[in-house]
Structure 1
Amino acid sequence: MAKERVDVLAYKQGLFETREQAKRGVMAGLVVAVLNGERFDKPGEKIPDDTELKLKGEKLKYVSRGGLKLEKALQVFGLSVDGATTIDIGASTGGFTDVMLQNGAELIFAVDVGTNQLAWKLRQDPRVVSMEQFNFRYAEKTDFEQEPSFASIDVSFISLSLILPALHRVLADQGQVVALVKPQFEAGREQIGKNGIICDAKVHQNVLESVTSMAVEQGFSVLGLDYSPIQGGHGNIEFLAYLKKEDGASNQVALEIEKVVERAHREFKDE
């Protein structure tokens, strides 16, 4: 498990505007872990880089800060899950599931290969079906008691090319998808830098061109593209893609890719 300084992690997760502010905030005891409330007061302390942090006393909008990714996607792509049956692929703690619940989803299949990760309050919600130790790449329509019309994807250590074929089998016709594109899991090894970080905008562009073309080949139109408001592991820039399962699938963002990558790099240039 890779580790990162507490102050750097707090800065990358957007708790402070500058690294100096993050350093002072940690020293003042303002930074705590979301999971167990552990307080950190040494800026240089190294902790696992997937540790979610928050400010002391801060009430998070969702069970995971990662929920902000799907929140942005619903807003910028103009999507609604109100009354829908949905799948959260790579649910983990349940940030995306929480967003769907708060936006009126009727039934959510929270799918993850892991176990005991989904937040307790989501496990207790009758609208949530927790499907642990479930490898979605082998999913079939019969695995789900209702046909979903919306899906979110936030998976790690696996390419979307292994997820979309299964999703095409499971999702309703005209079903909508928000997929988090993680270049560090899509690019070739030779394109990935030290500590698994991709800093090259050209690599990001190539990955998005490849992933969007692949999505069309799998029967999904690509209707929207933007960057994630939160960086991924090690500070990697990630992207949000809006897909739709339909006949005659097409790529409607091909001419936007370069501009989206440029905006993302401007947003995170100092991080």
Structure 2
Amino acid sequence: MQKSRLDHWLVNNLNIATRSKAIDLIKRNFVSVNDQIINKPAFLVDHNDQIKINNQYSFVSKGAYKLLKLLNEIDVDIKDHVVVDLGASTGGFSDVCLQFNASKVYCIDVGVDLLDPKIANNPKVVVYDKTNVKDLSVDMFAEPIDLIVGDLSFISLKSVFYMINNLASKNTKVMLLVKPQFELGQKIASKYKGVIKDKNLQNEAVDLIVSTAKDAGFECLHTTPVDIFDPKKQNQEYMVYFKRYE
């Protein structure tokens, strides 16, 4: 039976973006084989082995793992990035960015005092409560923005891309959570009682956002379905990574 190195297996089977990321996970004791932590990238495994990546981070919300999944699948380093978090809520996405060594995070939300104290009290964080993302402008930020992340509800991403376009520079990265129930219109959302399980409709929702982004000058570089924590209640959502066309 053919065996392969553990680092190769992670890249080929768990969508880890690069061997260097896989090796880093292994050496930091985040990978187990048959319930045993393995810290050697050259360890040999086969398809009969049970291989898992253990949660290497502790976050303020489960939503953080949606952004984490995307970052694990793309070859992007956000160290020293200035980040804008749209719909920050309790701060899950902001938490990920801070733990990945972002230099500053602007937390935007229409609510008040939603941020977990861990995030709100971080000296790298600037809080914009009671702020609609549609009202954002470049003069609200002291530095050029390197990364825009977003987890928005009860609003279509199609309606905010003009704002993203205004905030972004030529090197700005954009990572957004697409929620089909808010992208396909009230008629379809009502028909399915707010839970869109039809795969074709899910794909249509993602395609709508990709098309809107393209019109705004952004290329879709990666799309990934995120984990569903409660299949009976939650829609399948997708993290999408965009960057300006060169």
Q: After the TM superposition, which residues 80-91 of structure 1 pair with which residues of structure 2 at under 5 Å, given as runs?
A: 80-91=77-88
Residue 175 of structure 1: how far off its partner (Å): 0.8
In structure 2, the partner of 1:200 is 198
| 1:224-262 per-position Cα deviation (integer Å, ceiling 9, x unaligned) | 111112358931100011001235xxxxxxxxxxxxxxx
Aligned equivalent of 1:125, options 122, 126, 149:
122
Q: Structure 1: which amino acid aligns with 2:130?
A: Q
In structure 2, the partner of 1:238 is 237
Q: Percent identity?
A: 31
Residue 187 of structure 1: how far off its partner (Å): 0.6
Aligned-partner SS, 1:229: coil
Q: After the TM superposition, which residues 10-21 of structure 1 pair with which residues of structure 2 at under 5 Å, given as runs?
A: none
Query: Is the CA contact 1:66–1:230 (under 8 Å) kept in the aligned structure 2?
Result: no
| 1:121-156 per-position Cα deviation (integer Å, ceiling 9, x unaligned) | 111111000111111112110011111111101000
- In structure 1, runs of 5+ residues without a counterpart are 1-58, 248-271
Could you tell me how far apart the structure 1 residues matched to 2:94 and 2:185 are? 31
Could you tell me how far apart the structure 1 residues matched to 2:202 and 2:192 are? 16
Could you tell me how far apart the structure 1 residues matched to 2:171 and 2:229 are? 30
- Please identify, of 62-71 and 162-171, the stretch whose mean Cα deviation from structure 2 is larger: 162-171
Q: After the TM superposition, which residues 108-147 of structure 1 pair with which residues of structure 2 at under 5 Å, given as runs?
A: 108-147=105-144
Aligned equivalent of 2:224, options 218, 222, 226:
226
Query: Is the CA contact 1:82–1:104 (under 8 Å) kept in the aligned structure 2?
Result: yes
Residue 171 of structure 1: how far off its partner (Å): 1.8
Q: After the TM superposition, which residues 93-172 of structure 1 pair with which residues of structure 2 at under 5 Å, given as runs?
A: 93-172=90-169
CA RMSD of aligned residues (A): 2.0
In structure 2, the partner of 1:38 is none
In structure 2, the partner of 1:213 is 211
**Paired residues, what number?**
190
- Please identify, of 83-92 and 223-232, the stretch whose mean Cα deviation from structure 2 is larger: 223-232
Query: Is the CA contact 1:152–1:178 (under 8 Å) kept in the aligned structure 2?
Result: yes
State the 4+ residue runs in structure 1 displaced beyond 6 angstroms: none
Residue 92 of structure 1: how far off its partner (Å): 0.2
Query: Is the CA contact 1:164–1:218 (under 8 Å) kept in the aligned structure 2?
Result: yes
Residue 173 of structure 1: how far off its partner (Å): 1.3
Residue 180 of structure 1: how far off its partner (Å): 0.3
Could you tell me how far apart the structure 2 residues matched to 1:129 and 1:189 are? 34
Residue 194 of structure 1: how far off its partner (Å): 4.1
* Corresponding position: 1:187 with 2:184: yes
